[in-house]
Amino acid sequence: MKLYIITDLEGIAGVARWDQTGTDAPGYAQACRLMTEELRACVAGIQLAAADAEIWVWDAHGPGSIDVERFPRGARLINRGSIQPPYFIDSSFDAVFFLGQHSKARTRNGNLCHTYSSATVDGYWINGIELGEFGCRAALAGSMGVPTVFVSGDDTMAAEARALIPNIEVAQVKVGLGPQLALHLAPEDARDLVRDTAAAAVQRVAEIAPYVIAGPPYEQRIVITGRADAGSLLRSGFEQRSANTFVKVAERLEDLNI
């Protein structure tokens, strides 16, 4: 079995404030430790269910969030760096896992919710469906026939994932109480939940269908915030439709900004 884990930081138990998420933030080092221990638990759960699984991990948080010295044995790491869709995901993988994921921008009570950039993006839509990072990348994997079978994060992320993939395995490690406030499980309890849910997800890979958006073609609409620089969107083939709305049509999801 070959599995791909996408990690983020904002959906980890014990992480709730923006001052925990950037390299110059006072709580960043602790947040990375919490993230890495949940990753170790996720990999341990996978290995309980499939001892010989080939596990790839992509550190998908902006500045990175994995303590490499504590990276779990038996897995392999794609470090944070210059990487483009499809992020080395292909049809050879049996399933995708999302660890520490946050809900999309403007989610009510979504702890640290945002879509790709908390500073410059108001929302993403593909073929009229508003999607956050989870939905975009689950659809990317789904376009290759690969199911997304696991997600961890707060209750709003759980609801967002289940709206797209009703029978996904979810490890809810906190309840969002606001943009920078949450009710958290104790870190060790969160790790136990992640481990057990990851093991259950492995056992249900064949039962969970890939998330697929009808297409091609695929039309992506991105709405940016007022101070964002749109140059990168224009250079990558987006057409400006209004002061803050940009649209691109592609035959492959990997050619969009996902």
Give residue-wise pLDDT tens across range 81-125.
889 999 999 999 999 999 999 999 999 999 999 999 988 999 999
Question: Residue 23 domain-assigned?
Answer: yes
Q: Which two tokens stand for residue 83?
A: 């990487």
Contact 37, 65 (CB under 8 A): no
Q: How many domains does the chain have?
A: 1
Q: What is the CATH number of the domain that holds 142?
A: 3.40.50.10780
Give residue-wise pLDDT tens across range 20-43.
999 888 999 999 999 999 999 999
Question: Residue 60 domain-assigned?
Answer: yes
Phi (first) and psi of residue 27, to 5 degrees: -95, 10
Give residue-wise pLDDT tens across range 45-77.
999 999 999 999 999 999 999 999 999 999 999
Question: Residue 69 domain-assigned?
Answer: yes
Question: Residue 57 domain-assigned?
Answer: yes
Three-state secondary structure readout of 7-31: ECCCCCCCCCCHHHCCCCCCCHHHH
Q: Which two tokens stand for residue 27?
A: 């709580």
Residue type, 209: A
Question: Residue 228 domain-assigned?
Answer: no
Question: Residue 226 domain-assigned?
Answer: no
Full residue range of the structural domain in which residue 170 is found:
2-107+131-212
Question: Residue 252 domain-assigned?
Answer: no
Question: Residue 80 domain-assigned?
Answer: yes
pTM score over 0.85? yes
